[in-house]
Amino acid sequence: MRTNTHIEMKSESGEWVKALAPVIVSASRATDIPAFYADSFFRGLDRGYTLWVNPYNGKPSYVSYANTRFMVFWSKNPKPLLPYLPRLKDRGIGFYIQFTLNDYEEEELEPNVPPIQDRIDTFRRIVDQYGVGRVVWRFDPLILTDKIDMDGLLGKIRKIGLQLCGYTEKLVFSYADIAGYRKVGANLRNAGVSFYEWTESQMKDFADGLSKLNDAELHLELATCAESVSLEQFGIQHNRCIDPALIGRLAPDDPALQLWLFGASKDKGQRKACGCILSKDIGAYNTCPHGCLYCYANNSPQSAVRNYNALTLLR
């Protein structure tokens, strides 16, 4: 079983400190580092470490890149990342991008993301440059409102999916869990959005419709993210967003990474239904100014913008 190790390293101040030295870095489930913090992130990579603040207890700790062999980026707008990606190759570090490409433009649920066509163009541009498999399409979360029903969601997926044919192998999705996050419901209500919780029956009905759409037109691998509901009867698997199979395929010439992947353990710090292997996530909650009304990672869109304007996330 593989785990992240600690090392002794010297900080910029000259002090010797203890640092976590992960093999795989996740950047990040908690905020959109590619869209808003790419420069800070790569300054830390050049320096050799990031000073990360624990989102639960507020304590800072050092994350060293001395052992890092692979990075998984999460973003709704990875375009600002493009100038920096060649620097990963120079360091022998592999990557792929979990690209959340939703279409809630008309409903204004994601008020500060670029227009949908711009994001599709960014997706295609990255794949043209780095190859199929480097970008995974996520439609996440699927949300039901008085203006969006299941047929509407399927139509949105079809519209994007047809433009990504040949550019992605997989569609990863999740159902919005609003009841599990009190602040999400409050933010939606404050914005005047009438929303509905998914029932298990609705989840299966939607999965059936998505599977039929996929068989007829999209021809993608379908998977859910951290969903406990079983949809295997519709050909839909449970995803591993930090995925050892994909990492191994994208880094075939890195024997040290291949060896580490062979015994990599499940990330116990994630939700019970999460299938990800161990990585180190270096984001912080309440720092993403996309303003998505359903976001669980921000207390509110306004507080996230204030933090973005006031703080350097990755120090």
Q: What is the pLDDT of residues 217-235, one digit of tens each?
A: 999 999 999 999 999 999 9
Give the pLDDT confidence score for residue 310 in this predicted structure: 76
Give the pLDDT confidence score for residue 262 in this predicted structure: 87
**184 falls in which pLDDT band (50, 70, 90)?**
very high
User: What is the rounded average pLDDT of the residues 152-157?
Assistant: 98
Give dist(CA 60, CA 27) in Å, integer. 17
Give the pLDDT confidence score for residue 1 in this predicted structure: 57
- Specify the range with the lowest mean pLDDT, choosing from 146-150, 249-253, 309-313: 309-313
Mind giving me the DSSP string for the chain? -B--EEEEEE-TTS-EEEEEE-SEEEE-SSS-HHHH-HHHHHHHHHHTEEEEE-TTT--EEEEE-TT--EEEEEES--GGGGGGHHHHHHTT-EEEEEEE----TTTTSSTTSPPHHHHHHHHHHHHHHH-TTSEEEEEEEE-EESS--HHHHHHHHHHHHHHSTTT-SEEEEEE---TT-HHHHHHHHHTT--EEPPPHHHHHHHHHHHHHHIIIII--EEEESS--S--GGGTEEEP-SS-HHHHHHH-TT-HHHHHHHHTBPB-TTS-TT--PBP-EE---SS--TT--TT-SS-S-HHHHHHHHHH--S--
Give dist(CA 245, CA 16) in Å, integer. 36
- Specify the range with the lowest mean pLDDT, choosing from 158-162, 173-177, 269-273: 269-273
**314 falls in which pLDDT band (50, 70, 90)?**
low
Q: What is the pLDDT of residues 92-105, one digit of tens each?
A: 999 999 999 999 99
Give the pLDDT confidence score for residue 313 in this predicted structure: 61
Res 56 pLDDT > 80 = no
Quote the longest CA-to-CA distance of the chain. 61
Give the pLDDT confidence score for residue 301 in this predicted structure: 84
Give dist(CA 239, CA 254) in Å, integer. 24
**Ranges 11-15, 51-55, 58-62, most confident:** 11-15
- Specify the range with the lowest mean pLDDT, choosing from 39-48, 198-207, 299-308: 299-308
Percent of the chain with pLDDT strictly greater than 70: 98
Every domain of the chain and the residues it spans: 5-310
- Specify the range with the lowest mean pLDDT, choosing from 5-14, 210-219, 228-237: 5-14
Give dist(CA 173, CA 98) in Å, integer. 11
Percent of the chain with pLDDT strictly greater than 90: 81
Mean pLDDT of the chain: 94
Res 312 pLDDT > 60 = no
Antiparallel, parallel or unpaired: β 135-142 and 170-175: parallel
Give the pLDDT confidence score for residue 315 in this predicted structure: 55
**Which residue in 134, 127, 130, 206 sits closest to 173, CA to CA?**
206
Q: What dihedral angle (degrees, nearest 10) is formed by the CA atoms of 41, 45, 51, 54?
A: 60
Res 311 pLDDT > 80 = no
Q: What is the pLDDT of residues 80-126, one digit of tens each?
A: 999 999 999 999 999 999 999 999 999 999 999 999 999 999 999 99
Res 187 pLDDT > 60 = yes
**60 falls in which pLDDT band (50, 70, 90)?**
confident
Token readout for 235 is: 């050909």
Query: Residue written as tokens 């990963």?
Result: 88
Give the pLDDT confidence score for residue 268 in this predicted structure: 85
Query: Which position has the higher pLDDT, 2 or 138?
Result: 138
Which amino acid is residue 7, in one-letter code? I
Res 189 pLDDT > 70 = yes
User: What is the rounded average pLDDT of the residues 57-79?
Assistant: 94
